[in-house]
Amino acid sequence: MNQGFTLRRVGLSTETKACLFVGTTTSMWTLAVMLSEVLPAWSGSTTTNARGSVRAIEAPLLLQVLFVAWLVSWLDAYIATRSQGAFRLWNLSTCNGPFDWSSGISNSFYLALWSCILLLIVLPSLNAIWKGSTVQGILNLIGCAIFFLSGAAENPYVHVQHRYAPDMLRIALPTSHHEGTAYILPGKGRGFDAVWTPKVANEHKEADEQAMTLFRNIRSGRWSPKEPLERMRNTLALYQRRFRAEADDIVLLARWLYLDDLADQGMRRIDCERASDIHLIGRDLMYALCHAEYLVFMGQGRLPQELQRKMGMLRVMTRSGAPNSGSPDVHTVGFTAGREGYREAVEHIYKLFDLPLDGKALDFSSTTPPAHSPALGKRPETIDGYVDELWTTCIDNSESTFTAMYMFTTVWFVEVGNTNGFHIFPLRCRNRYGDWISEQIVWRQAWYMGIIAQLVSVSPVFYAAFVIGYLQ
């Protein structure tokens, strides 16, 4: 199931369209059943009146109630997203992963859902059993039990390919927990953002297989300076397959990254929170910037010539393996040995966000060098010497400004730690309520259980339709 707003002109995600399709067909089915009962009743048919609510329980009422609840929750999320307000019916911080849907909605909303199912399904089913329609009534009760007791398995959609449109380019940050932060790249009129989200298997596939493995290897000392770039290449290549964009979207990203005069200034905002006393040079922000630069690099054929000529600003074209792209004569930001190169890279990153430079990002005087640096293979004598040699090692084993920065911040975190204003993720989500996409991810489980439970309830209808069709 695709994720994000994959059809920009329609403005709806594949997730939303699938739910609307299921909900609409369910509503049509329910309406047909109700009309087949109500219309004869208006005409005075005693047969239909005698059956009463027995006929009504043959409608897919469980999915109908679920569709209405989902629609109300969707509208609440839509209003909260557009107004940048708080969710009224949703709170991801109470969820335990992408399958714990019932914990994500508010207690009052969950009680209302329970009450509707009790009044519209459970009580009519008990009445139908009393009147002799035993099979249908019992199956309805079994379906309700499956739904509320989580009798179905976990939905498989967390493992399928997730795709992103330009207005929702999520970067799943590496984490060993069942939930965490996702960075969202800026777009037209939108700044860089961060949201809290459940850990989705497919979204975190690259982070789990590449980044987490890299971290373990660096901590254990079983790595080489070539490994960060190789793992980042694998990560970016797999992420690029998720990207669905038009030429204008790639141009927007390129103008932002290359500090072009025609860049959308709204993209230079930071729409999430910055950690206090922390500068921007953090591992996970560099991880996200690597994704942005790679998307532009792979979409270079859609860029105008003046932007193509700027590609060497952030990528060493002689190492890119892509002929006739960019200008090899352009100086790549940061690719100067020692702290001078590091300073160039830091200054460029702050210009991306139109922010004044943090002194801590360049002043290391209050930091003690590590007792031993596996990355350098020796004990650094001074912190300045350590920074000089580490940055030189990073640019020698990288192909772009951001991959060098990613290697530098990754090694710094392992060998030095979150000191001197460094932190692995300097940008934080404003709260842990989640966002519109996260809400839809968790709602998948409710839909999955609801459909399975409803199939149990309406199995006699399907069987009867099969028999009638076979006999005819």
CB atoms within 10 A of CB 46: 9
User: In this predicted model, what pLDDT tens digit does every residue of 239-298 receive, in sequence order?
Assistant: 998 888 888 899 999 999 999 999 999 999 999 999 888 999 999 999 999 999 999 999
Q: Which is nearest to 316 in space by CA: 284, 354, 345? A: 345
pLDDT over 80 (residue 5): no
pLDDT over 90 (residue 427): yes
Q: What is the pTM (predicted TM-score) of this model?
A: 0.87
Average pLDDT, the chain: 86
Q: What integer pLDDT is reported at residue 161 of this predicted model?
A: 85
Model confidence band, residue 4 (pLDDT cutoffs 50, 70, 90): very low
Chain CA centroid to CA 423, Å: 22
Structure-token match 């497919």, residue found: 202
CB atoms within 10 A of CB 315: 28
Q: What is the 3-state secondary structure (H, E, C) of the chain?
A: CCCCCCECCCCECHHHHHHHHHHHHHHHHHHHHHHHHHHHHHCCCHHHHHHHHHCHHHCCHHHHHHHHHHHHHHHHHHHHHHHCCCCCCECHHHCCCCCCHHHHECHHHHHHHHHHHHHHHHHHHHHHHHCCCHHHHHHHHHHHHHHHCCCCCCCHHHCCCCCECHHHCEEECCCCCCEEEEEECCECCECEEEEEEECCCCCCHHHHHHHHHHHHHHHHCCCCCCHHHHHHHHHHHHHHCCECCCHHHHHHHHHHHCCCCCCCHHHHCECCEECCCCCCCCHHHHHHHHHHHHHHHHCHHHCCHHHHCCHHHCECHHHCCCCCCCCCCCCCCCCCCCHHHHHHHHHHHHHHCCCCCCHHHCCCCCCCCCCCECCCCECCCCHHHHHHHHHHHHHHCCCEHHHHHHHHHHHHHHHCCCCCCCCCCCEECCCCCCCHHHHHHHHHHHHHHHHHHHHHHCHHHHHHHHHHHHHC
Whole-number Å distance between alpha carbons of 198 and 256:
29
Candidate from 112-121, 260-269, 453-462 with smallest mean pLDDT: 453-462
Structure-token match 């992103």, residue found: 164
Q: What integer pLDDT is reported at residue 413 of this predicted model?
A: 94
Could you tell me the maximum CA-CA distance found in the chain, to the nearest angstrom? 98
Mean pLDDT of 121-138: 84
Q: Which is nearest to 74 in space by CA: 405, 413, 443? A: 443
Q: What integer pLDDT is reported at residue 430 of this predicted model?
A: 87
Rg (CA), the chain: 28
Give the list of residues 6+ apart from residue 117 with CB closer than 8 angstroms, or none: 61, 62, 65, 144, 147, 148
Mean pLDDT of 18-40: 82
